[in-house]
Structure 1
Amino acid sequence: MTSKSMDPDFLNAFKLPFDNDQSSSEKEIISGEKRKHIQPSSQNDPKLEGLKTFLLDWINATLKEEHIVVKSIEEDIFDGLVLHHLLERLGAMKLNVQEIALSVSSQKHKLKVVVETVSRCLHLEESQLKWSVEEIYKKDLLATLHLLVAMAKHFQPDMDIPPNVSVEVLIVEPTKKGIKTEKVFEFITDNRQNLDERSAQTDVFDELFKLAPDKVKAVKQAIVHFVNKHLGNLGLTVKDVDSQFADGVILLLLIGQLEGYFLNLSDFFLTPCSDTEMLHNANLAVDLLLSGGLLDSPVNPEDIVNRDVKTTLRVLYSLFSKYKSK
């Protein structure tokens, strides 16, 4: 990783090799906007190309019945039309936006509605977003890929998205001393090597069940007390950690209470009637914990549904460790 500062007097001589509109770039930098660009060295990376092909195939397969064909991530996503149909198809929802938006203002309005709806579905705060309406509309490849990958992971969590896709990114940021540039590597999809290494590590609950099984009961009691303290205002009481979290409902309500947001009842099954509906709830809960940076090790949502006590305690402890003093 390298960084340097550039005096504003040399701004006119500063040209990004991958930006065809120098005057536009300069205006954005002068106005104080931090920008990120994929370095040319990463543009033709086979893994990046493979991810783009994978996403194109996924989009076209999803929208096949609507006779929509997408040929380019860079050129066919920016105006919100494809994202609109993709969101309605995957999320089973109806958006109040124009079907065809031709003017710049109507396209941006439509895109804004779609992107904000995606963010709500994913339960992401603005600070957690790796994309923006402006970036998507400007055909920013990095932002568009982040958005599509997030949608795929949320709506079809079992899909085998190509792992370990990263790109070298140039970050351009104005400072009081001039223009600061920094090169970093940014992952677009999960770094499976890191996940595998973390999953191979022995965590506190592996140790607890193996070396101190007599203390498991005390840990359960402490967590039950913690859960009931925060769910009391909802009229809910937990007595059995082993079974009451299997359908994901209480877990989702607990996350919402602790993280300070309301979960739309259309996003999960309040009274799940099947393993599929329970798994949907568990997947959503794990997604929320991961996006909030609360999980220190990978968790299989199916283990929650299958009442794996160690997994359930591991998930609850991730919340307990952050909010125990709240």
Structure 2
Amino acid sequence: MDLNAVRTFVAVAETGQFQKAALDLSLTQQAVSKRIGALEDALGVRLFTRTARGAGLTIDGQAFLPHARALLQAEERAVASVRPGSRALRVDVLGRRLSTAGLLRDFHRAHPGIALDVVTLFDADAAIAAVRAGTIDATFRAVTMPGRQLPDDIRATLVFDEALQLCVGPAHEFAAAPAVTLARLAGRRIWMPGNAPGTEWRAYYDDLAAAFGLTIDTIGPDFGVEALLDTLADSATLASFFGQRTPLVWPTGHDLRRIPLHDPTPVYPHSLLWRGDNPHPGLIALRDHLDALPPNHPDTETWRPSWAQRPAPPR
């Protein structure tokens, strides 16, 4: 349907006159009449009755008017979805409760005028493909996984290294420890059922386990964080890892403990990835916001896998 003709129809309906609609649209009265005639031919009905006083809507015209207005509103929304500065910035995070989602919340508080859509894609492959396709503007991920090079059109910069903590229940042998070394965890069961094969976080924890002789158990269905915390609270042997900045809430009776790890402190490297030719002003603001964050340096010696040591490419 010719939206210019629909726009002309709405203008005539609202003014009640072809001449006034022509002035509002910067058209000749003849052009307005031609557009309305073409629309009536396309619909197969008369939309107006012409009188000496102007133009009145027919019954069909009255029925068509709300739909015509909806068409024009849909057109405006469609244009706004890709208009620079109008389309919401779409950013992927691994989980809405993880630390990178917290970074986005802080960004939104600092820049409330920037529309923001937060999505959660499953793994780095899906996220990078979405960045390249333009369905999202950026993603927070750990890069790079072993054996994978980032595509040439993808840029990445390290945002921060998040220290890991051990989470145990009150009956666990380390429940009262102020801190635990990785060496003391050798042979203990670290339960992480959400470590799906082929993901960047599975690659990270596989390397961590190999480097320090840890037993990371991924067996069992992943019923989510709440179910994991319930199990930890009742176990004297199970433990799990969580990022230091990951907010966790549990019932008071659980009495769970979050214990720092040191000598060295394992850190999870969070990077921001985006397509180099993406001009979205919100993306520029997000990168500037992240660049301005205070330096993140854990107080102790740190560890991260060799594949995550590569410095970020220049911006």
> TM-score of the superposition, structure 1-length normalised?
0.20
Larger Rg: 2
TM-score by length of 2: 0.20
Flag the structure with higher strand content.
2
- Which structure shows the higher helix fraction? 1
State the structure with bigger RCO (CA 8 A, min sep 6), 1 or 2: 2
